[in-house]
Amino acid sequence: MIKTALSHLLPSQITNEFPGAKIALWGFYLLTAMTLWRSQHHIFSADGGAQSIATIPLANYSDSAASTIIGVFALWGLSQLIIGLIYLIAAIRYRSMIPILYLLCVFEYLMRATYIPAYKSIETAGTAPGAVGNLPLILFSSTMLVLSLWSRKQNA
């Protein structure tokens, strides 16, 4: 069982076969769509989502500091777009990568929820939806990771 799970997590060949539970595949489609949707707002919104979503009080900063924050949010959106495109490529053509991508997603959101807030505080005027969504995304991605490693052939 552990050997099978490990071979699903790190396949010797990257193929378009997804041996995990079907719901984990559909969950990955949802994660992909969410990641792509989030990225566009950070890239194209005038404030990069810094104030309109993350509630960072840009008016409290000098114009150059506020511009820097907006620029960093746009770069973050670009990173999200790249991750979303990698997810999309995996969903369309390289489904055997889905378990490792779920693992990376769990790692990303764990870092967002624990390390970053503890050591890199960000001044906000309210609670950003991203901060509220971290725990549900950790739980969702962890559950989907387990289900993506659960071989359908084993259960048949």
Q: What is the mean pLDDT of residues 13-20?
A: 94
Count other Cβ atoms within 10 Å, centred on residue 72.
13
Q: Which residue has the higher pLDDT, 123 or 56?
A: 56
The pLDDT value recorded for residue 153 is 60
Q: What share of the chain in percent tops pLDDT 90?
A: 76
Does the pLDDT value for residue 3 go beyond 50?
yes
R_g of the chain computed on alpha carbons: 18
pLDDT tens for residues 122-146?
Answer: 888 888 887 888 999 999 999 999 9
Contact 28, 92 (CB under 8 A): no
Per the listing, tokens 């984990």 go with 24
The pLDDT value recorded for residue 156 is 44
Does the pLDDT value for residue 154 go beyond 60?
no
pLDDT tens for residues 37-54?
Answer: 999 999 999 999 999 999
